[in-house]
Amino acid sequence: MAAPGSPIRDFCARVCVQVRFTPDRAAISAELAAHLEDRVDALRERDPALTPEEAQARAVAAMGDPEAIGRALDQSHNPLLGWFQVWFRRAVWSLRPWSCWSACPRPFKRSPLWPPLPSSRIRPGWAISWPAMTSTT
């Protein structure tokens, strides 16, 4: 990660200020810093005479306007969809214990609110001997 006060950290901070969905700011900053550090390494490999500060300044300058990049990232990191995703995950994770419990096999048990069926109403082969559903008129 870039050192405090470095051009890379300042650039990332200026970009992330534009993003309204705050939980994504850390990931955006880390990704931007990684891209910029890769660019710094490539610049120093191409021109070994560059100091690290000069290479960082060139890499930041090559990225362009941080406010424009931040506005573009803000459009793709919509806070409404982001918060919906956060709350949806929480709902799914909070329902997980219930779904696991309800999927567990357990013996069938009649509710105490319903009395048992009288044995006179239970007939073997009831589906075969069911009366025809035709009108008698």
- The ranges assigned to domains in the chain are 7-83
Any idea which residue has 């006060």 for tokens?
A: 5
The H or E element that residue 71 is part of is: helix 66-76
Summarize pLDDT for 9-67 with one digit per residue, the tens.
999 999 999 999 989 999 999 999 999 999 999 999 999 999 999 999 999 999 999 99
Residue 99: pLDDT band with limits 50, 70, 90: confident
Average of per-residue pLDDT values in the chain:
81
Q: What is the DSSP code (8-state) at residue 23?
A: G
Amino acid letter for position 130: W
Is residue 98 within a helix (H) or strand (E), and if so which, with residue range? helix 79-103
Full-model pTM: 0.61
